[in-house]
Amino acid sequence: MKYLKKSFLFLLIILFFLPVYISATSQDKTYGNTTVTVLKIIDGDTLKIRYKGKKESIRLIGIDTPETRKNNKAYRDAKISGKDIDAIISQGKKATSYVKSLVKKGDMIQIEFDIQTRDKYGRFLGYVYLKGEKMLNEEIVKAGYANLMTIPPNVKYQERFLKAYRKARKNNKGLWRK
């Protein structure tokens, strides 16, 4: 009987603390939110931030905005889309301007990481939340200033972004204006 009471007590302790432990460890390793300071808006899908005392870049997961300067990617995008390189750059500047209207140097933002936290260039990969809990990635898509770019394993909000993208295109928003 004494053994049963101890076993029961042990089981209760495990059942109480296990969910708390799992939640805390999964938050820290994959989906944890981290508050950082914006240092600079690089372009429509990349920010410079201060993270744990270091300057870092963060690439917004799930989206791709046009380039703001002539580079290999801008030329590739022009070739694929059939658009003039100057039109691509102009669109990139509009996307960047839109992002700058939402987030400014010195703003505090929250980052939600997904499965893969850095890309091959060493930049953080994340979902960025503004004050009021709006997700920057999604707001850019909703306004029509980004294409979708889904790269597994970071697919947590893929359907959410697709819905916003379709609506922006249908309503001729941002880059889709006629």
CATH number of the domain enclosing 61: 2.40.50.90
pLDDT at 5: 53
Retrieve residue 143's tokens: 């306004």
Active-site annotation holds for 67? yes
Residue at 130 is within a domain: yes
Q: Which residue has the tokens 């939340």?
A: 129
pLDDT at 127: 98
The answer to whether the CB of 143 falls within 8 A of the CB of 150 is no
- Compute mean pLDDT per 10 residues along the chain, 178 residues long, and list them: 50 41 35 86 98 97 97 94 94 97 97 97 97 94 98 97 98 93
The catalytic position among 67, 112, 138, 139 is 67
Active-site annotation holds for 50? no
Burial label, 152 (beta-carbon count in 10 A; 0-12, 13-18, 19+): exposed
pLDDT at 132: 80
Give the number of domains in the chain: 1
Residue at 70 is within a domain: yes
pLDDT at 1: 56
Q: Which residues constitute the domain of residue 148? A: 33-176
pLDDT at 28: 34
Residue at 22 is within a domain: no
The catalytic position among 56, 118, 123, 160 is 123
